[in-house]
Amino acid sequence: GPSIPKIMGIEDEKPTGTNSGINPIITKEGLKVISLGFMLPERDSPVVWRGALKMKAIQQFLGDVNWGDLDYLVSDLPPGTGDEPLTIAQLIPEPDGAVIVTTPQDVALLTIRRAVNFAKGVGLPILGLIENMSGFVCPYCGHEVDIFKSGGGEDLASELGIPFLGKIPLDPDIVKSGEKGRPFVMKPGSKSAEIFENIVNKMKKSLSDRKR
């Protein structure tokens, strides 16, 4: 999405092109990144693209970027079951799978049911489900309070028979890290950072189990 350059601390960078393709931006941590945010004339320009333009952009990001050797290729897609996830599912041969992110509210869970059915319909494996905004972490005492309901994502994952990867709380430190373009998971001694790490480890295990 267009906010990725800001979150990754590379919003002042611009990809360069060569005869062999587009060179992605590489972060200080060694992550290769390409985003619609790099293509906008101004930072606050809206992305008003029809389906055909979205599909063409995704095709370019997948086929024309000099990715080189990668451990993982992660595509951050907007909510819903529109052109973007369908194009990804069609263009990537034998994708390892999708990670579905929801919030605990019933309205969000209805949308997630459709996303799960969509993934199954196009033959896209589901690596797991994450419940985001699951509780609020007080910046003063560290106590966690449920602002919305909690556990809806976990219950839905159990009902649908897909792995549940974890709950990510509303943590002010996560917001601050994104605004400063710093990886939150590098923050030592943070419970939320530990949650992220546990989720990644579960995703790796899910991938490993699928390839056996």
Q: What is the DSSP letter of 181?
A: T
95-212 to CATH, choices 3.40.50.300, 3.40.50.720, 3.40.30.10, 3.30.310.50: 3.40.50.300
Q: What is the pLDDT of residues 18-30, one digit of tens each?
A: 899 999 999 999 9
User: Average pLDDT per run of 10 along the chain, which is 212 residues long?
Assistant: 87 91 94 90 71 85 95 88 84 90 86 89 91 84 78 88 92 87 79 90 86 70
Instruction: List b or e across 174-195, with b for residues whose CB sees 16 or more CB atoms inside 10 angstroms.
Output: beebbeebbbbbebeebebbeb
Task: Check residue 60 and give its pLDDT.
Answer: 92
- Strand-pairing partners, residue 51, are none
Instruction: List b or e across 56-65, with b for residues whose CB sees 16 or more CB atoms inside 10 angstroms.
Output: ebbeebbeeb
Distance CA 135, CA 148 (A): 7
Between CA 190 and CA 92, with CA 126 as vertex, the angle to 5 degrees is 105
Phi, psi of 199 (to 5 degrees): -65, -45
- Strand-pairing partners, residue 99, are 128
pTM above 0.75, yes or no: yes
Contact 123, 90 (CB under 8 A): no
The helices-and-strands tally (H runs, E runs) of the chain is 7, 9
Distance CA 164, CA 109 (A): 14
- In sequence order, the 6+-apart residues with CB closer than 8 A to the CB of 166 are 130, 131, 195, 198, 199, 202
1-93 with 95-212: one CATH topology? yes
Q: Which fold has domain 1-93?
A: Rossmann fold (3.40.50)
Task: Check residue 7 and give its pLDDT.
Answer: 92
- Listed by start position, the domains of the chain span 1-93, 95-212
Contact 133, 101 (CB under 8 A): no
